[in-house]
Amino acid sequence: MEKINPIWRSANEQECLGMGQVHVWRADLSMAAQAADNLGAVLSDDERARAARYLRREDRSRFIAARAILRQILAHYTKVSPESLSFVYGEHGKPALAEGLGDEGVEFNMSHSGEMALYAAARRCRVGVDIESPRPSVNYMRIAERFFSIEEYEELVALPAEDQYSAFYRCWTRKEAYVKARGDGIAAGLDTFSASLEEGPKLLRSDDGSDEIDRWRFLALQPGDQYVAALCVAGQDMKLSCLEWSL
What are the tens digits of pLDDT across the range 230-240?
999 998 788 99
* DSSP sequence for 212-230: HHHHEEEEEE---TT-EEE
Quick count: other Cβ atoms within 10 Å of Cβ 51? 20
Tell whether pTM > 0.85: yes
Per residue of the chain (247 residues), give pLDDT as tens: 445 556 899 888 778 899 999 999 999 998 887 888 888 899 999 999 999 999 998 899 999 999 999 999 999 999 899 999 999 888 888 889 988 765 668 999 999 999 999 999 999 999 999 999 998 889 999 999 999 999 999 999 999 999 999 999 999 999 999 999 999 877 778 999 999 999 889 999 999 999 999 999 999 999 998 999 999 999 878 899 999 998 7
**Nearest-angstrom CA–CA distance, 233 and 247:** 28
Quick count: other Cβ atoms within 10 Å of Cβ 114? 16
Taken as a whole, the chain contains a residue count of 247
* pLDDT at position 143: 96
Q: Do domains 2-127+236-244 and 132-229 have the same CATH topology?
A: yes
CB 173 within 8 A of CB 140: no
* pLDDT at position 1: 40
* pLDDT at position 136: 84
With vertex at residue 167, the alpha carbon angle to CA 4 and CA 184, rounded to the nearest 5 degrees, is 75
Q: Which helix or strand (DSSP H or E) is residue 244 part of?
A: strand 239-244
CATH number for 132-229 (one of 1.10.3470, 2.40.128, 3.90.470, 3.30.1560): it is 3.90.470
Considering the domain delimited by 2-127+236-244, tell me its CATH architecture: Alpha-Beta Complex (3.90)
Domain boundaries, the chain: 2-127+236-244, 132-229
